A = this chain, B = another copy of it.
Amino acid sequence: MRRNPVRARTDRAELYAVLDAGLVGHLGLTLPTGPLVLPTGYGRDGETLYLHGSSGAASLRAAASGVPVCFTVTHVDGIVYSRSAFHHSMNHRSAVVQGTARLVTDPDERRHGLAVLTEHLAPGSWEHSRQPDRKELAATAVLALDLTEASVKARTGPPGEDERDLETPSADWAGVLPLRTVWGEPEPCPLLPAGTPVPARVSSRG
């Protein structure tokens, strides 16, 4: 049998690459009603992930209360078409981080965490936008999650096929249909003065 199994990766560079290439992660925590998984913005500084959300959100308050959480970032890279239904698959990279989130309370670290988050979402934006005031800071919960318990899995390459399916082909095609995300044309805020140029940090975003 030809296999391209999902492989567990251990390299920190691979972990960082998967996290840094993502925009949204999925934060899982256990509430009295059961598990909850919510899309969550984030940013990475070394071995620390910063997450944030409304300080009024029940989920964020729960995550900040010292309970275990899981944060997962996934990229889908392609659809794997196989000669068998069974070996259809998805090329992907994913990072799974488990741990206990820490509510960031130190004012300097809160500001640092927000800068990391903003720069991850929109590189260059932190210094090009109005800094958060006291009220905005109070409305924002910043969490820190350590990357100690983190793992990466990835699947790449063509379909893994059974020999029997090569000998007696049952499908008209097999291979990979790649998938990628691309930026569109920047859409200026309608309230911007006409003719405001789009800065390179937006128009040339990698």
The answer to whether A129 and B84 touch (CB under 8 A), given A35-B30, A37-B96, is yes
User: What residues of chain B lie closer than 8 Å to A202, measured between beta carbons?
Assistant: 81, 173, 175, 177
B129 touches A170 (CB 8 A): yes
Contact between B35 and A86 (Cβ–Cβ < 8 Å)? no
Given the interface pairs A37-B96, A68-B33, A175-B187, the reply to whether A23 lies near B76 with Cβ below 8 Å is: yes
Q: Report chain B residues within 8 Å CB of A83.
A: 129-130
A199 at interface by CB-CB < 8 Å? yes
Q: Does A56 contact B (CB under 8 A)?
A: no
Whether A190 sits at the interface, judged by CB under 8 Å, is: yes
CA–CA, A139 and B3, complex, Å:
15
Closest-by-CB residue of B relative to A99 is B34
**A191-B166, A202-B173 in contact; A35/B70 too (CB < 8 A)?**
yes
Contact in complex: B36, A98 (CB < 8 Å): yes
A121 near B72 with CB under 8 A, answer: no
Contact A158 B34, beta carbon cutoff 8 Å: no
Chain B residues with CB under 8 Å of A90's CB are: 23-24, 41, 121
Question: 23 A-B contacts, Cβ less than 8 Å apart?
Answer: A23-B90, A26-B26, A26-B74, A30-B30, A34-B69, A38-B72, A39-B94, A76-B181, A81-B122, A81-B129, A85-B130, A86-B132, A88-B118, A88-B129, A158-B189, A173-B202, A175-B187, A175-B189, A177-B202, A178-B186, A178-B187, A180-B184, A182-B182
